[in-house]
Structures are given as C-alpha cells and as structure tokens.
Amino acid sequence: MAAIPQHVHSAALLQANRAVIQRVRDAVSALAPNDLMRHPPGGGWSVGEVLEHLILAADSYLERLRPIVAAKHGHAVTTETMWKPSLMGGLLVNSFRSPRKRRAPRIYRPGPSPRPRALEEFVARHEELARLISASGDKEWRRIRLRSPVTPLIRMNLGDAFSVLVTHAERHAGQIEQRSSRSSRSSR
C-alpha cells in the first residue's frame, strides 16, 4: 500500500468504525435472545461467541493503545504527515480482508458462553477505539511502534493497530450478518 496522508486514513477508519458498529447493531437487534447462542448448521461460532471474540481482541489491543495515546510524543503532525502500514501490519489487515477461514489465536477464542450484554460491550470497545483514533491525531502513527498482543514477533505501527481492530470487526460483522439472517429466517 502506498503512503497516504495520516488525517485521510484517520477519517476513513472513523467512518468504517461507525459503519461496522451500525452493521453489528442492526444484525444483532434483529435476533431473539436465544438466537445469540445458536450455532450455524455447518458448525462454527454463534453470534454471541463472535461478539465475545471481538471483545477479547479489542481488549487486548485497547490495553496497549490507551497509554500510547495518552503519552506525549515529540513528532509534529501536519496535514502533510503521511502514514503507511508496516509490512506485518499490512499483512495482518489484508488477512482479515481475505475470505479464507482462519483459526483464531488461543487468547481470542471465546469461552462456552459469551458475557451478558455482549452487543453493548462490543459497541463500548469500538466507541473507545474511535476516541483513541481521534485523540491520536497529534501523533505520527508510523513512528510509534507496538507489539502484537498475540505474539511479540509481530511489530506494527499505531495506524496498523487501529486498522487491525476496524478491519477485524468488519470481517466478523459479515459473519454476524449471515448468521443473523439465517436465524431470522429459521425462526419464522
């Protein structure tokens, strides 16, 4: 991916994040409470388990992002400041855009039942993500590095971490929408 102005990428992430929150809200609000735990016919996670997975992943990143965004960094940011994904960050984001099935890292596998109010918890995490993206506008994303919560071997920049969370939620929003439409058809 070519470098783009950081403020343009920030605006695109905020818009995509708002859209994914709305997609998930719409899909889940169409379900009866017992449909949250219904597994798809071919196997896989229920809608509730997908939400729990998204919450676990968001928590692991947000705990790393909060102190970074709160810290004072010395790089001046202007409308000319460019952002580009790191190699590993770009690969991770592209893997979420692929339709190929992937096995979730162990730390992100949901337990036997999702937490109560999983939809509200998901929304709260992504609203916090939006606040962190906005609050980091004075930081040069490509210069701030962090390690992946899954493995210290993967290093990414701040913009990568924001992109990972939004793209990961978009991937699973599609699964939630598919499972939601199946559940609403079968309960008629």
Residue 35, token pair as written in the block: 């449909």
User: Which domains does the chain possess?
Assistant: 4-30+44-186 (1.20.120)
pLDDT band at 95; cut points 50, 70, 90: very high
| pLDDT single digits (tens) 49-84 | 999 999 999 999 999 999 999 998 667 788 888 999
Query: Using CA atoms, how far apart are residues 187 and 18, in angstroms rounded to an integer?
Result: 29
Kindly report the pTM of this predicted structure.
0.92
